[in-house]
C-alpha cells in the first residue's frame, strides 16, 4: 500500500531515513521542519520530487502550520521530539514540547481524517525508574517518572507517549495509534549535522574520554528503526500497538572492542581500559554528556524486541555492522579525525 503520509521532523536522523524508505516504496510524503529555509539543505538528502515530497513549517510549541502539513494525509508518522546534547535547565524544557507537539500532531491528523498515527517514542518510556533489580523489559513496562534517577529526557518520552495514548482513547474516534520505541539509535549519517544519539560513539572515537565508563545501551540501526516504522504504517491491525525497537545490549567497552577489531589504526584513539565509577563522576563535573547519564552507571536494560519480530517479521541487522557503519560514516564526513 502507499498513500500520503506526514512525517514530522524531516530534517532529523530518524525522520530522514523514514522518508527515504517511504519514498522508495511509492508513498507521497509531507514533512515538517522548523523553518522552510532548511528545505534547500535537507531535500537533496531525502530524494523525491516536488510532487512526492513536500515541506511545511511547523513547530512543536506552536499551532501554526500543522493543519496544512496534515491536509490530505491518510497516515501520520510523528518523529519530531527534542533530544538535547546537554541536560536542560528545567525538565519542562523537554517535557512540554514533547507532549504538546505530539498532541498538536494528533489533533491535526484527526482533523485531516488520517486513518493511522505512528509515534516515535523510546525505550526511555519503558525501562527507567525501576532501580537495578529489574533488567529485562517488554512493551508492558512503563518508566516510573517519579522513580530514582529518572532524567528529563526519559520523563519527556514517557509523558508524551502516555498523553498521546490518553488523547487517542478519548478523542481519536477510531484512528489507529501505535508507537515504535527505539533504543540507542546508531548507523550511517546522511550529513555532518549529526544526531545527539551519535555522541557516545563520537566521544569514544575521538578519545574524549580516557577510558570506557560503565555505561551500556541497547543498540539499533537507524535503517532498522525506519524499517519498523514503515512496517507499522503499512501492516493491518495496528490499533493500540507498541513495539520495542532494539538489538542487543552492549557496554561501552564492548563497543570499543568492536571498533578496535574492525577499524584497526583508524580506531587508535578508542580506549580499551575501563574507567572506575569515581573517575566518571569527576568527569561528569566537566562533561555535560556524561553528566546527563551519570545515574546509569552499572545499569543493564535488556529490551525484548520479540513482539516486533513475531507480529511484523522485523529483524535488525547485526549490531557489529551498525557500529562499524556508524564509525565509517563519522570518519567519511569529517566529524571524527583519524
- Which pLDDT score, from 0 to 100, does residue 29 have? 98
Could you tell me if 243 and 232 are in contact, meaning their C-beta atoms sit under 8 angstroms apart?
Answer: yes
Mean pLDDT of 146-166: 94
Spatial CB neighbours of 245, under 8 Å, sequence gap ≥ 6: 123, 180, 181, 182, 183, 220, 224, 225, 228, 305, 308, 314, 316
* Mean per-residue pLDDT of the chain: 94
Percentage of the chain exceeding pLDDT 70: 98
Write down the catalytic residue from 110, 157, 202, 260.
157
Q: Name the β-bridge partners of 33.
A: 57
Is residue 132 annotated as a catalytic residue, yes or no? no
Residue 165 has pLDDT above 80, yes or no: yes
Which residue did the predictor score with more confidence, 284 or 238?
A: 238
- Which pLDDT score, from 0 to 100, does residue 225 have? 98
- Which pLDDT score, from 0 to 100, does residue 1 have? 65
Which residue did the predictor score with more confidence, 111 or 286?
A: 111
Residue 61 has pLDDT above 90, yes or no: yes
Could you tell me if 98 and 157 are in contact, meaning their C-beta atoms sit under 8 angstroms apart?
Answer: yes
- Which pLDDT score, from 0 to 100, does residue 85 have? 64
Tell me the C-alpha distance between 303 and 323, whole Å.
18
pLDDT-wise least confident of 1-15, 90-104, 108-122, 286-300 = 286-300
Tell me the C-alpha distance between 28 and 5, whole Å.
6
Residue 298 has pLDDT above 90, yes or no: no
CB atoms within 10 A of CB 103: 16
- Which pLDDT score, from 0 to 100, does residue 82 have? 83
Residue with cell 510524503: 29
CB atoms within 10 A of CB 194: 18
133: confidence class by pLDDT, cuts 50, 70, 90: confident
Fold classified for 4-189+219-246+301-316: Rossmann fold (3.40.50)
Burial of 192 (0-12, 13-18, 19+ CB in 10 A): exposed
Check: pTM over 0.75? Answer yes or no.
yes
Give alpha helix (H) positions in the chain. 13-24, 39-46, 66-70, 92-112, 152-171, 199-206, 222-234, 252-263, 277-283, 288-292, 306-312, 319-332
134: confidence class by pLDDT, cuts 50, 70, 90: confident
103 grid coordinates: 498532541
Angle at 321 between CA 125 and CA 245, to 5 degrees: 20
pLDDT-wise least confident of 68-82, 124-138, 230-244, 313-327 = 124-138
- Which pLDDT score, from 0 to 100, does residue 289 have? 64
Mean pLDDT of 108-119: 98
Spatial CB neighbours of 202, under 8 Å, sequence gap ≥ 6: 194, 208, 330, 335, 336
Instruction: Specify the pairing of strand 241-245 against strand 176-182.
Output: parallel
Residue 180 has pLDDT above 90, yes or no: yes
pLDDT digits (tens, 9 = 90+) for 184-226: 999 999 988 777 889 889 999 999 888 999 989 999 999 999 9
Tell me the C-alpha distance between 213 and 180, whole Å.
28
293: confidence class by pLDDT, cuts 50, 70, 90: confident
DSSP 227: H
pLDDT digits (tens, 9 = 90+) for 303-324: 999 999 999 999 999 999 999 9
Amino acid at each position: 500500500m502507499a498513500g500520503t503520509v506526514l512525517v514530522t521532523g524531516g530534517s532529523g536522523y530518524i525522520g530522514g531515513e523514514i522518508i527515504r524508505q517511504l519514498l522508495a516504496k511509492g508513498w507521497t510524503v509531507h514533512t515538517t521542519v522548523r523553518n522552510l529555509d532548511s528545505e534547500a539543505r535537507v531535500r537533496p538528502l531525502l530524494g523525491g520530487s516536488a510532487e512526492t515530497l513536500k515541506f511545511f513549517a511547523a513547530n512543536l510549541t506552536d499551532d501554526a502550520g500543522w493543519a496544512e502539513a496534515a491536509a490530505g494525509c491518510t497516515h501520520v508518522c510523528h518523529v519530531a521530539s527534542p533530544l538535547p546534547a546537554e541536560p536542560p535547565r528545567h525538565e519542562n524544557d523537554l517535557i512540554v514540547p514533547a507532549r504538546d507537539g505530539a498532541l498538536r500532531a494528533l489533533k491535526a491528523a484527526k482533523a485531516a481524517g488520517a486513518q493511522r498515527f505512528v509515534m516515535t517514542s523510546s525505550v526511555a518510556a519503558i525501562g527507567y525508574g525501576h532501580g537495578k533489580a529489574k533488567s529485562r523489559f517488554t512493551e508492558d513496562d512503563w518508566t516510573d517518572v517519579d522513580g530514582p534517577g529518572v532524567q528529563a529526557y526519559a520523563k519527556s518520552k514517557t509523558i508524551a507517549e502516555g498523553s498521546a495514548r490518553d488523547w487517542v482513547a478519548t478523542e481519536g474516534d477510531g484512528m489507529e495509534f501505535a508507537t515504535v520505541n527505539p533504543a540507542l539509535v546508531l548507523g550511517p549519517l546522511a550529513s555532518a549535522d549529526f544526531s545527539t544519539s551519535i555522541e557516545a560513539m563520537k566521544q569514544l572515537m575521538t578519545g574524549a574520554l580516557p577510558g570506557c565508563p560503565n555505561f551500556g545501551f541497547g543498540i539499533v540501526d537507524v535503517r532498522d528503526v525506519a524499517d519498523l516504522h514503515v512496517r507499522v504504517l503499512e501492516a493491518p491491525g495496528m490499533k493500540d500497538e507498541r513495539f520495542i525497537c532494539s538489538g542487543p545490549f552492549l557496554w561501552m567497552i564492548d563497543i570499543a572492542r568492536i571498533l578496535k577489531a574492525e577499524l584497526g589504526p583508524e580506531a587508535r584513539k578508542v580506549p580499551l581500559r575501563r574507567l572506575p565509577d569515581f573517575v566518571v563522576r569527576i568527569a561528569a563535573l566537566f562533561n555535560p554528556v556524561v553528566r546527563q547519564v551519570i545515574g546509569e552507571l552499572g545499569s543493564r536494560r535488556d529490551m525484548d524486541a520479540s513482539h516486533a519480530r513475531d507480529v511484523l517479521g522485523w529483524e535488525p541487522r547485526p549490531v557489529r555492522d551498525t557500529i562499524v557503519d556508524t564509525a565509517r560514516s563519522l570518519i567519511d564526513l569529517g566529524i571524527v579525525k583519524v
